[in-house]
Amino acid sequence: MMRTRAAVAVAAGKPLEVMEVNLEGPRAGEVLVEIKATGLCHTDEFTRSGDDPEGIFPAILGHEGAGVVIEVGEGVTSLEVGDHVIPLYTPECRECEYCLNPKTNLCQSIRETQGQGLLPDGSTRFSMLDGTPIHHYMGCSTFANHTVVPEIALAKVRSDAPFDKICYIGCGVTTGIGAVINTAKVEIGSTGIVFGLGGIGLNVIQGLRLAGADQIVGVDLNPSKVEMATKFGMTDFVNPADVEGDLVAHLVELTGGGADYTFDATGNVNVMRTALEAAHKGWGESIIIGVAPAGAEISTRPFQLVTGRSWRGTAFGGASGRTDVPKIVDWYMDGKIEIDPMITHKLSLDQINEGFDLMHEGKSIRAVVEF
């Protein structure tokens, strides 16, 4: 048993509380990781706010981290002390029915306990100093200076990559670029529309440029996002607040009949409908990335699908983390993709709630906490 510092989500809708917590060492198949940096994703805020039907409190949130292996549990063979790692909320056991099916990245080997805020043996390693158990989150809990993660949920990455940048590959970068490359499989010369130019949407834009899209339309209610989106490849910007009349009709006209691919990176179900309907008749595909609150539902006229549009979704950009994440780290280190400009704020753990304020105010793309 050791002590570490963590930001604890004590109850839904409450600010995180930074405190010392107890952390038990790794059991069989588990690894103790010292987290060096973690990004703040909108999904952390979604759960903190109480919108997540799977939200459990108290919990240590955070799922976009990078760090170093401090200790390995019994039977761990693929990692050793000193390895640099990125925790994976979508693990890769390489044995389950899902891992053996190339059509999905959704390894299910530990999904049930992960959703209950527990490690695969059904227990938690974190507790408050008075002994109250604290739940894990998405199998990662990166808002802690140290965390225990299953071996199958850690990607080993090169040791010369900076933690404060590659932590973002733990969710946002991989989700956005992967949605384009793995899920949509966008072809050269395509048109794309991206709804929501935040930490995920900008990476969709970056992915569309990488894939050779001709027209990349960004849609956001916040015009301050334009400069960054343009830098990453956006060719046209639409602010729905400035469109007179029907937004779908405007987007269909702008893209010459609708886009080949549209992406929701807002989590708003009305936006998801617009995204589906702005996809091209006959072949347009709309990919849902955004996570919607408990009880929210999507709707459209079935005729939209009858006439050839497809509605799809993606988690972690369709990436198989232990295989794909080290490659994405290489892309960053080789200059194929950019990360640095999107990390707009660096914070200490004590300032973590300011990071969520910046997210709400639309002032940050990614705020990163460095330990």
Which residues form the catalytic set? 41-43, 63-64, 93, 96, 99, 107, 111, 171, 366
Q: Which stretch binds ligand NAD (CB under 6 A): 103-111, 119-127, 216-224, 227-235?
A: 216-224
Regarding 332 and contact with ligand NAD (CB under 6 A), the answer is no
Q: Which stretch binds ligand AHE (CB under 6 A): 48-56, 65-73, 190-198, 240-248?
A: 48-56
CA–CA distances in Å: residue 85 to residues 96, 125, 323, 357: 22, 19, 13, 28
Regarding 171 and contact with ligand AHE (CB under 6 A), the answer is yes
Q: How far apart are CA 55 and CA 114, in angstroms?
A: 11
Q: Which stretch binds ligand AHE (CB under 6 A): 51-59, 147-155, 270-278, 298-306?
A: 51-59
Helix, strand, coil shares of the chain, percent, nearest 5, are 30, 25, 45
Other C-beta atoms within 10 Å of 323: how many?
12
Q: How many CA atoms lie within 13 A of 96 on its CB side?
A: 16
Q: Which stretch binds ligand NAD (CB under 6 A): 26-34, 116-124, 156-164, 262-270?
A: 262-270
- Residues between 66 and 125 that touch ligand AHE (CB under 6 A): 89-90, 111
Regarding 38 and contact with ligand AHE (CB under 6 A), the answer is no
The dihedral region occupied by 13, where left means phi > 0, alpha psi between -120 and 50, and beta the remainder, is left
> Closest distance between Zn ion and the C-beta of residue 203, in Å?
11
Q: Which is nearer to Zn ion, 183 or 255 (CB)?
A: 183
What residues contact 245, with CB distance under 8 A and at least 6 apart?
none
Q: How far apart are CA 189 and CA 168, in angstroms?
A: 28
Regarding 181 and contact with ligand NAD (CB under 6 A), the answer is no
Of 109, 147, 175, 182, which lies in the binding site for ligand NAD, with binding defined by CB under 6 A? Answer: 175
> Closest distance between ligand AHE and the C-beta of residue 121, in Å?
20
Of 87, 91, 192, 199, which lies in the binding site for ligand NAD, with binding defined by CB under 6 A? Answer: 199
- Maximum Cα–Cα distance across the chain: 63
Q: How far apart are CA 81 and CA 111, in angstroms?
A: 26
Q: Which is nearer to ligand AHE, 218 or 321 (CB)?
A: 321
> Closest distance between ligand AHE and the C-beta of residue 43, in Å?
3
Q: Which tokens is 58 given?
A: 């108290």
Q: How far apart are CA 63 and CA 13, in angstroms?
A: 19
Looking at residue 182, the DSSP 8-state letter turns out to be I
Q: Which is nearer to ligand NAD, 220 or 324 (CB)?
A: 220
Q: Which is nearer to ligand AHE, 23 or 197 (CB)?
A: 197
Q: Which is nearer to ligand NAD, 126 or 316 (CB)?
A: 316
Q: How far apart are CA 154 and CA 302, in angstroms?
A: 41
Regarding 277 and contact with ligand NAD (CB under 6 A), the answer is no
Size of the chain, expressed as the number of residues it contains:
371
> Closest distance between ligand AHE and the C-beta of residue 208, in Å?
20
CA–CA distances in Å: residue 341 to residues 195, 199, 212, 228, 263: 20, 11, 21, 8, 22
Report the interface residues with ligand AHE, using CB under 6 A.
41, 43, 52-54, 89-90, 111, 171, 291, 315-316
Report the interface residues with ligand NAD, using CB under 6 A.
41-43, 46, 171, 175, 195-201, 219-222, 225, 240, 265-268, 271, 289-291, 314-316, 359, 362
